Amino acid sequence: MGYLDTYVFDGVYNQAAALTSTTPLPRDSLLRQSLSLFVFIYAYIVAFYFGTAGLSYRFIYDKKQESHPKFLPRQKLLEMACASRALPTITLMTVPWIMGQLHGYSMVYKEWSKFGYVYLGVSAVMFILFTDFCIYWVHRLEHHPLVYANCHKLHHKWIVCTPYASHAFHPVDGYLQSLPYHMAVFIFPMHEYVYLALFAFVNVWSVMIHDGEYMASNGIVNGAAHHTVHHLYFNYNYGQFTTLFDRMFNTYRKPSQEIYDRSRRNSKTVQAAQAQDIDTALPTLENKKTQ
């Protein structure tokens, strides 16, 4: 925050004080810190979301998927609008976690050698496994009938996704699935730059698993193909980074071969069959989840 205060926020608060004939909020004011964090985090996530999803859509996303029978009219704009409505609330709920880190309540550290250089890599693996496990259960519980209709159902409006679906959640849904990323550094130590790099990575990953481009048939990595199965068939592949916990708790479904083959997955026959499967299963699934 020191750099932001020096180059951005000191001037903003001084100008605001001059315009209102009041005393500028000091740097150690909790109100100022909260406001500054909200502005910074919100600006960051909006820029990162539209930038990453935009690049993915422009250069990676298979736009032939937009001809799928389950692709909604104007869906890309609807996804962007949904994310734009959710991000301010998610940011507001995130601020207390970052405040806790700034005030020394987390286990984030600055010295590269504090726990040894090997631990930098170990902590990254711990972060991935911890958050993958937690998000698996958050995601799975969001499919419970008492939760699904009022929270997670909105994200499943996007049966055939674009990269812009990555952050197109109900705000409570998006916040709950982000909680493990914040909790991690209150449970085990992480270097601040390793943590920041991983935080950027998870946002990129969220876009990647919605981009419709299935680069590798890997049974362990929960890539776009596995997450596509989740959006198409709902009750499978709840994990975020790996399929480990889906396999462990019997919710894993292997993507069919046509998902990996661009020409086959864009086949009208394949898409019609997927649409028919969804139309057959969806009334039962939705009924179970909204009862």
Element (H, E) at 245: helix 244-248
DSSP 52-103: HHHHHHHHTS-GGGGGSTTSPTTHHHHHHHHHHHHHHHHHHHHHHHHHHHHT
Tokens of 188: 């085990």
- Report the predicted TM-score, pTM, of the whole model to 2 decimal places: 0.92
Number of helices (H), then strands (E), belonging to the chain: the values are 13, 2
Are residues 102 and 109 in contact, defined by beta-carbon separation less than 8 angstroms?
A: no
Average pLDDT on 60-65 reads 91
Residue 262 — pLDDT band, cuts 50, 70, 90?
confident
How far is Cα 245 from Cα 2, in angstroms, rounded to an integer? 40
What is the percent of the chain with per-residue pLDDT over 70, rounded to a whole number?
96
Residue 289 — pLDDT band, cuts 50, 70, 90?
low
Residue 96 has pLDDT above 80, yes or no: yes
Residue 287 has pLDDT above 80, yes or no: no
How far is Cα 41 from Cα 102, in angstroms, rounded to an integer? 14
How far is Cα 52 from Cα 47, in angstroms, rounded to an integer? 8
How far is Cα 127 from Cα 138, in angstroms, rounded to an integer? 16
How far is Cα 241 from Cα 247, in angstroms, rounded to an integer? 13
